[in-house]
A and B are shown apart, each in its own frame.
Chain A
Amino acid sequence: MSVPLTLLGLLEREPSHGYDLKRDYDAFFGRGKQLPFGQVYATLGRLARDGKVSAGEAEPGEGPDRKRYAITEMGRAEVDEWLAEPVEPEPHLQTVLFAKVTLALMLGRPAETYLDTQRAAHLRRMHDLTELKRTGSSLIDVLLADHALFHLEADLHWIDLTSARLAELAEAVANR
């Protein structure tokens, strides 16, 4: 799970305070594991240093940081690139997949296209593993390949089901 890229994605919606970003991050991606304030501000600091966000003037009031952050063109380009590229097909990546789909829907990006790209990447990896099994591998290699194939297959089921539920998910995201 990439916290910097996810925060950057959330910022693309509108300039926000660190507090708002944390609240939305926890609501969508936290799943019982909240993002510490310290990490939010440290991440925003690094993103500002790298030119991906710009920090506004501190606003009067209480709280640790009253700056409003806005995404820059460079930050936007990075989000774009990240959302478009498939994740390395491997088991246990559902949280990254989920974050990509949810953010794409939030930002009005083509979530369906992303899922198609991911499906293709998964199928390609499954094809390679099947070839490996067919071309005289040791039984141990075959068993390892089987393990990978079943996990990739489970991801594919998730991808297909999410594809079928995109409209529903888009509505849930819009209504937050």
Chain B
Amino acid sequence: MNTPAVTRASLIEARGVYKSFGQTPALRGASVSVRPGEIFAIMGPSGSGKSTLLHCLAGIYTPDQGEVLFDGQPVNIMSEADRTKLRRTAFGFVFQFGQLVPELTAADNVALPLLLNRTKRKAAYQIAGAWLDKLGIGDKSGRRTGELSGGEAQRVAVARALAMNPQVIFADEPTGSLDSLTGEKVMDLLTGLAKETGSTVVIVTHDARVAAYADRVATVRDGLVSSIELPQTTGGGAHASPGTPVTAAKGVE
């Protein structure tokens, strides 16, 4: 791959992770390695364990067995306080829904994690405003998020995740409740801005069109990972007309 030799090969890593809920095993020795700065998608059928894997990587769940490393440090044996700090300072989260406080304005929602992290009020709201502008919803900053459309609310969620300048953004079905076009806008913004800021993105999706934004895609099946490389396109591939490989004649035969 194209990762320069000087960078750490993996920023987040799961090694042989097992996780069960009661008698039901969700992960059965899953291993995966996410490189710094990449957009990494985790796909799989429902019940395959893909969300559980994301929650383990993000230090939300503690694996029953196996290791989770972030920047070389074992997350699975950290104290709850350290893990909370890590989630608050190094990680950003975008979920399908439910992560915003509907009674608060868009600006409040984005500023909230900054305030919790002891950023001064004025600075926090300045940062929040700048990110809402970048996401094209600066004019909605004073609106309560409960009154926003699904796509607008998801952009607020992306702004909130990016505003902390996290090393990693974890996104679980971030476009799951959006229509195709709105979902595409959100993915364009999320991946484009993450590349700009150098944040790594780990995204769980069942949608191949969302996974197509990723540099690499891992498929989870029955609690195990089968990683699939998506090498960067070289030469003409990405520049060819989209019509070429889809040979129209074949489509109408």
Neighbouring A residues of B213 by C-beta, 8 Å: 127, 130, 134
Query: Is B8 an interface position by the 8 A CB rule?
Result: no
The minimal Cβ–Cβ distance linking A89 to chain B, given in whole angstroms, is 7
| Complexed CA–CA distance, A152 and B207 (Å) | 12
User: Which chain B residues (202-229) contact chain A, with CB distance < 8 Å?
Assistant: 208-209, 211-214, 217, 219, 221, 226, 228-229
| Contact (Cβ within 8 A) B251 A123 | no
User: Which chain B residues (191-249) contact chain A, with CB distance < 8 Å?
Assistant: 191-192, 208-209, 211-214, 217, 219, 221, 226, 228-231, 233, 237-243, 245-247
Contact of A153 among B192, B209, B253 (CB under 8 A): B209
Query: Is A92 an interface position by the 8 A CB rule?
Result: yes
Query: Is A119 an interface position by the 8 A CB rule?
Result: yes
| Contact (Cβ within 8 A) A134 B208 | no
With A141-B242, A164-B45 known as contacts, the answer to whether A123 contacts B228 (CB < 8 A) is: yes
| Contact (Cβ within 8 A) A134 B212 | no
Most chain A beta-carbon neighbours within 10 Å: one of B240, B245, B250: B245
Neighbouring B residues of A126 by C-beta, 8 Å: 208-209, 211-212
* Closest A residue to B214 using CB positions: A127
Most chain B beta-carbon neighbours within 10 Å: one of A130, A135, A152: A130
| Contact (Cβ within 8 A) B246 A127 | no
Query: Is B188 an interface position by the 8 A CB rule?
Result: yes
Residues of B within 8 A of A (CB): 45, 188, 191-192, 208-209, 211-214, 217, 219, 221, 226, 228-231, 233, 237-243, 245-247, 250-251, 253
In the complex, 7 of the A-B residue pairs with CB atoms within 8 angstroms, ordered by the A residue number, are A91-B251, A119-B228, A128-B233, A132-B242, A137-B242, A145-B242, A149-B209
**Further pairs besides A141-B241, A148-B246, A156-B208: 8, Cβ < 8 Å:** A90-B246, A116-B228, A120-B229, A126-B212, A128-B233, A134-B213, A148-B242, A149-B209
Residues of A within 8 A of B (CB): 88-92, 116, 119-120, 122-132, 134-135, 137, 141, 144-145, 147-149, 151-153, 156, 160, 163-164
